Structure formats: structure tokens, C-alpha cells
Amino acid sequence: MPELPEVETIRRQLSPKLLGRTITAAWAFDSPKFDEASLAVGTTITSLRRRGKYLLVELSSPETAASELVIHLGMTGRLTVTPPTTGDEPGTTAVEAADRHLRARWSFEDGSTLRFHDVRRFGRVAVVRSGHYEQLPTLASLGPEPDDEAFDAEHLRSAVNGGRRHVKTVLLSQRTVAGVGNIYADEALWRSGVDPRARRLTRVAALRLRDAVREVIAQGIASGGTTLRDYRDADGNRGTNQDQLDCYGRQGEPCHRCGTTIVHAVVDARSTSWCPHCQRR
């Protein structure tokens, strides 16, 4: 599933292609999860932002208040921009095959299009008044970004120690910190030496984990994201962060720090890997 680094990679690639474009037409797959795509017709894209795993496309229109096209990639969502001439050229078979999973398409004044493909249909498209996320409760209640000052060790420690949940589940909740999913949670917990099943953090462990979350997210962005199966960036390329993983998906392999075999279990319904020697509760 695309997490913060993957969505940020896509945002950076799409920005220069979409800024200033006016949406002249839209098509959506027949589902309430995608059919708001057409509400963006007649608007102009003024910026691309990201919060957590959400891409926020800011729209302006001469007639109505500023709005946002909110896109969540779900498990398998991909965004691509097709230049104006592609449809007339030979060799578009790949595009046509991919269109079987097309969920939304926006056309621009210059003939280019933004396409949202989503095989498994866990993605979501919404158009809302700027900053009004009531219909998107996860977005409305997102915690701070990892690099935000508000994501400090005490904030993290009180979120863990104040509840009864495992630390990994707190990281995945999106309420304590935005954008962390299964891959980067396992990586941050390994890096900080914290057992994913811990229910309490010392001040020292909370600071280490806070720093580790920032580090693994920054490394993920610098590597263009992590591609295990489905993820491709907006240019159709794989990320390279999968080559740098220390923990996620490495069960049965030796820990890069101590050599102990990485173990695997389901923690709160999420597949989880950790080193039983150097990650402590």
C-alpha cells in the first residue's frame, strides 16, 4: 500500500505537469468512491499538497469557493498523466490494458489527461470545499506529519502510554502521526529497538522511535518509495527503498544489527516483523 513516501514521490512528479491546468471534462467508474471526480470540472489546479497518505489537489474556479480534489490511492492506486498526443500514436496497448482498471480520468484544456487506475478499488476520490474533510474522517483526524514539530517524543509517548494499544497500532492509527503504514512502521520500530508489541515507552525509547520514524520516511522519499508488488510512481517506475529494508518482510533472515533471525507474527491484524533480540518491550 502506498504510504507517505510513495504519495509524496507521486505528488512531486505530478506537480509540474498539473499546476495551472484547467479541467475540462471528467469520467468516473460507477461507484460512490470515485464519482465525485466530475465535480472538479471547470476548475483550475493551483497546487498539489499532501497530508499523510492523501493527495490534495487544490482547485480554483471563478464561480465557486476554492475546493480540493482529494485522492487516496488505497492498496493499488496509480496516477499517471498522459500527454495530448498519446492516444493517436501506435503502441498504446499498455495504456488500453491498464484502462480496464481505470477509476477516474480528468481531461485538461491542452488535451492531456490525469488517470487514476486502481485494481483493487480501495482508493477514493472526493471533491470538498477547501479544508472541509467531514466526509473523510481519517483525513479529518490526521495527526501531525512526521517532520512537524508537533510530532515530538512526548506526544508519541503519551499516545502510547495513555492507551492500551500496542505501539505499532498507535503508529498505524494515523492520529498520532500521519502517513505511516505497515512497511515504515516495522522499519522505524526496528531502527529504534522498540518491540512492536510494547504498550509503554520510556522517554528515551519515545525519542528514538520519533527520530526513527522521521529517518525511515525521509529515506523512503529519497529512494522514490518502496515497491514490493504494485506500487509505481507517476512515471510508471518502481521505487528503490525495498533494497534498503532492514526488517519489513525479512522474517527468517538474519537481523542486520545482531544476526538473530527476524521473526514474524500478526499484531492487531497486521503482518509484523521484528528482531526478538534487539527490539525490546
Q: Residues with catalytic annotation?
A: 2-3, 53, 270
> What is the helix, strand, coil percentage profile of the chain, to 5?
30, 25, 45
CB 210 within 8 A of CB 152: yes
- The C-alpha cell at 161 is 502510554
- Which of 1, 167, 188, 275 is the binder for Zn ion (CB under 5 A)? 275
What is the spatial distance between Cα 219 and Cα 20, in angstroms, rounded to a whole number? Answer: 30
Segment interacting with Zn ion (CB under 5 A) among 34-42, 164-172, 218-226, 248-256:
248-256
Task: Work out how close the CB of 259 gets to Zn ion at its nearest, in angstroms, rounded to a whole number.
Answer: 7
Residues 69-98 as b or e (16 or more Cβ within 10 Å = b): bbbbbbebbbbbbbeeeeeeeeeeeeeeee
Spell out where 113-251 has E strands: 113-118, 124-129
Is 45 among the residues that bind Zn ion (CB under 5 A)?
Answer: no
Is 278 among the residues that bind Zn ion (CB under 5 A)?
Answer: yes
What is the spatial distance between Cα 138 and Cα 264, in angstroms, rounded to a whole number? Answer: 28
- Which of 25, 66, 140, 258 is the binder for Zn ion (CB under 5 A)? 258
Amino acid in position 173: S
Task: Work out how close the CB of 166 gets to Zn ion at its nearest, in angstroms, rounded to a whole number.
Answer: 19
Is 256 among the residues that bind Zn ion (CB under 5 A)?
Answer: no
Amino acid in position 143: G
Q: What angle do CA 192, 145, 67 make, to 5 degrees?
A: 160
Using CB under 5 A as the binding criterion, the count of chain residues that bind Zn ion stands at 7
**What distance, in Å, lies between the first and last C-alpha atoms of the chain?**
27
Is 247 among the residues that bind Zn ion (CB under 5 A)?
Answer: no
Task: Work out how close the CB of 216 gets to Zn ion at its nearest, in angstroms, rounded to a whole number.
Answer: 16
- Which of 239, 255, 272, 273 is the binder for Zn ion (CB under 5 A)? 255
What is the spatial distance between Cα 207 and Cα 209, in angstroms, rounded to a whole number? Answer: 5
Our CB check for Zn ion shows the closer of 10 and 189 to be: 189
Segment interacting with Zn ion (CB under 5 A) among 94-102, 179-187, 207-215, 258-266:
258-266
Nearest residue to Zn ion by CB is 255
Our CB check for Zn ion shows the closer of 270 and 277 to be: 277
Is 165 among the residues that bind Zn ion (CB under 5 A)?
Answer: no
- For binding to Zn ion (CB under 5 A), which residues are involved? 255, 257-258, 260, 275, 277-278
